[in-house]
Amino acid sequence: MTNAPVALMRYATPRLPSPTASSPLRRTASLAGVGLGLMGLLASMGACNDTPVANLEKSFTLKVTKDTGDGEPIKIDFLWVIDNSSSMCQEQQALAANFRTFVDQIRTAFDIDPRIAVTTVDAQCDVNNTTIFSSKGKFNQRPARAFPPPCQVNERVECLSDNDCSGIDCEVYGSCQNQGEWACRTTPSASCVTNPNGSINTTCRRRCTGDAECKTLFGDDKYVCQKPSANQADWGCIRPPDSADTAVCPDELPPFLDGNNLDLFPCIATVGVNQEKCLKFEQTLRSGYMALDKNGLNSEQAKGFLRDDAYLVVVFVSDEEDCSVADTATVSEESYETCGLLKTTDEGGPLVPVAHYVNKFKALKSDPGKVIVAAIGGDSLKSDPAEIALDRSAYIQSKGDPKTCYHQTSICSSVNGTADFGSRFLSLTKSFGPNGSFANICGDNGIEVALQQIARTIVTVVNKVCLPRQVLGGLSVVRTRNGVQTTLVEGDGPGTYKLVFPEECARGDELYPALAFGDAPIPGESIEITYQGDPQFQ
């Protein structure tokens, strides 16, 4: 007979027919028979012998049951806040192309009833300007029909003349016959080619003579030779947005999508890019909150979109830093490129502290545990923590250098371009604990892998159960599925669990743990959780 405090939890689902896409399981957990379990344990132990048992009050048995609901899908309201500066052409295309896979990954775990809206990072642009589709938190309802010349294909190369760009067709794309011409987009001086942290400021742009040349080089019939003027030196290969097809994307889109028209996501997510001066001042967090604030500029929009009983997922996608300032603050145009380095209002500066936005987004739901915040932004590509810290420090020092051309400093680069260090996005997502996710926009396969990571976070948050006691040790999670018993391991993905401390599991001022499963429990399976539990009763 053991005296160790042990909590035994049975997390079971009645066996039902396999759910269809329109009839998911609704999971509820209840603490059943805690008192009876303890009383029975006391009675049985008292009958053993007359020897006192030490720490008897520390032994208890708990049973948690899991039932199926009425088959309603899980409601999730998604807001995507997408950077519409001219460096985001490829990222917008990648987001549009990989969105369906993102949704399907979530739907493998449970059925969802989604609402999806998109806004941009502008908090001060004039929405009446015909080149800007949405600003100040207004939901985007117009697809981009074209990309401007800055979106023409570029390769980041150290160059001072076109000669420095020769051979790229062969070296990068493997097209070594009839190589085309690449033009150097140079800097004012040789000292500006490379920044102090090693990032490169110059690029080579692929010139062209006709569409066929671009289609062949990039192996994609959607590429064209863009001709912004009669000057052939301006002609360059470009892939227009898929939203340019009027047969796919109508001129006017609904303010938000639902489960019946998710195929329109590439249309609203392709918000276009623009070189307006105000677009270089990216108040990403502020714009996202403006879109959802029921008491703000877009109050009617927010009230019509947000559902009280739904999860809220806010995803920020940007290759630059957030520069959200207080309502009464201003930032000069000369500081736009380095505004992420400015002080917060707590320090006498113009930036709103990230902690303020953490509280604002959590306050959008009566249960803050139903708010999930994710960001796809720039960071070091190193894996060693010490090297990551050095990269970040070098970036900040280089970005803040008095030499103006060094303000172009980036922390990482990929096939889609370069990115600033999104330190404020990283801080925001970390503040949400298990309900936060930060993915590197420069990572391998970029947006695709980032979306997979965000989908896993959503699945983990929804597939969790609060534990009735604090865990002191000895945690074991055993699943029986289709007659096969498996011991789950801590980690990400199928066959794993995470021990998390979400706010919805709190009791008073104390956070209690929860188990979040990497893949959703299915009808008929059971999950047995044993651990040494804190014996204190509430």
Q: Answer left, alpha or beta for residue 446, where phi above 0 means left and psi between -120 and 50 means alpha.
A: left
Specify if 407 maps to a domain.
no
CA dihedral 142, 144, 145, 151 (to 10 degrees): 170
- Tell me: do 528 and 487 sit in the same domain: yes
Specify if 406 maps to a domain.
no
| Paired strand residues for 325 | 351
- Tell me: do 255 and 374 sit in the same domain: yes
- Tell me: do 359 and 426 sit in the same domain: yes
- Tell me: do 46 and 181 sit in the same domain: no
First to last CA, the chain: 26
> What pLDDT does residue 523 have?
63
- Tell me: do 167 and 186 sit in the same domain: yes
> What pLDDT does residue 507 have?
76
Q: pLDDT tens digits for the chain (538 residues)? A: 444 444 444 433 333 333 333 333 233 332 222 322 222 222 232 333 333 333 333 433 343 334 333 457 889 999 999 999 888 999 999 999 999 999 998 888 788 999 999 999 988 877 665 567 788 999 999 999 999 999 999 999 999 999 999 999 999 999 998 889 999 998 889 999 999 999 999 999 999 999 999 999 999 999 999 999 999 989 999 999 999 999 999 999 999 999 999 999 999 999 998 767 766 789 999 999 999 999 999 999 999 999 999 999 999 999 999 999 998 898 888 888 999 999 999 999 999 999 999 999 999 999 888 999 999 999 999 999 999 999 999 999 999 999 999 999 999 998 888 999 999 999 999 999 889 999 999 987 778 999 999 998 998 888 888 888 888 888 888 888 888 999 999 988 788 888 888 777 777 778 888 888 887 776 667 788 888 877 664 4
Do residues 79 and 117 touch, judged by C-beta distance below 8 A?
yes
Could you give the residue ranges of the DSSP H alpha helices within 174-298? 211-218, 265-269, 284-292
Domain boundary among 461, 486, 521: 461
Specify if 469 maps to a domain.
yes
- Per DSSP, the three-state class of 347 is helix
Edge-first strand order for the sheet with 489-490 is 464-466, 514-517, 496-500, 489-490
- Tell me: do 173 and 309 sit in the same domain: no
> What pLDDT does residue 432 have?
92
Specify if 395 maps to a domain.
no
Distance, CA of 357 to CA of 285 (rounded, Å):
7
- Tell me: do 358 and 251 sit in the same domain: yes
- Tell me: do 204 and 339 sit in the same domain: no
Domain of residue 485, residue span: 6-70+463-533
Residue 28 neighbours by CB distance under 10 Å? 11
Per the structure, how many domains does the chain have?
Answer: 3
- Tell me: do 126 and 258 sit in the same domain: yes
Distance, CA of 507 to CA of 244 (rounded, Å):
52
Q: Answer left, alpha or beta for residue 9, where phi above 0 means left and psi between -120 and 50 means alpha.
A: beta
Distance, CA of 261 to CA of 250 (rounded, Å):
12
Specify if 159 maps to a domain.
yes
Q: Which residues, at least 6 apart from 144, have a Cβ–Cβ distance to it below 8 Å?
A: 92, 133, 241, 243, 244, 270, 271, 272, 273
Distance, CA of 288 to CA of 311 (rounded, Å):
16
Backbone angles phi, psi at 516, to 5 degrees: -110, 130
Specify if 398 maps to a domain.
no
- Tell me: do 88 and 182 sit in the same domain: no
> What pLDDT does residue 536 have?
62
Task: Give long-range contacts, CB 8 A cutoff, 24+ apart: 15-19.
Answer: 15/523, 15/524, 16/68, 16/523, 16/524, 17/523, 18/522, 18/523, 19/71, 19/111, 19/523
> What pLDDT does residue 48 have?
33
Backbone angles phi, psi at 120, to 5 degrees: -110, -170
- Per DSSP, the three-state class of 330 is coil
- Tell me: do 79 and 219 sit in the same domain: no
Specify if 138 maps to a domain.
yes
Specify if 400 maps to a domain.
no
Domain boundary among 238, 262, 296: 238
- Tell me: do 249 and 215 sit in the same domain: no
User: Is the Cα dihedral 246, 247, 251, 257 positive or negative?
Assistant: negative
CATH code at position 350 = 3.40.50.410
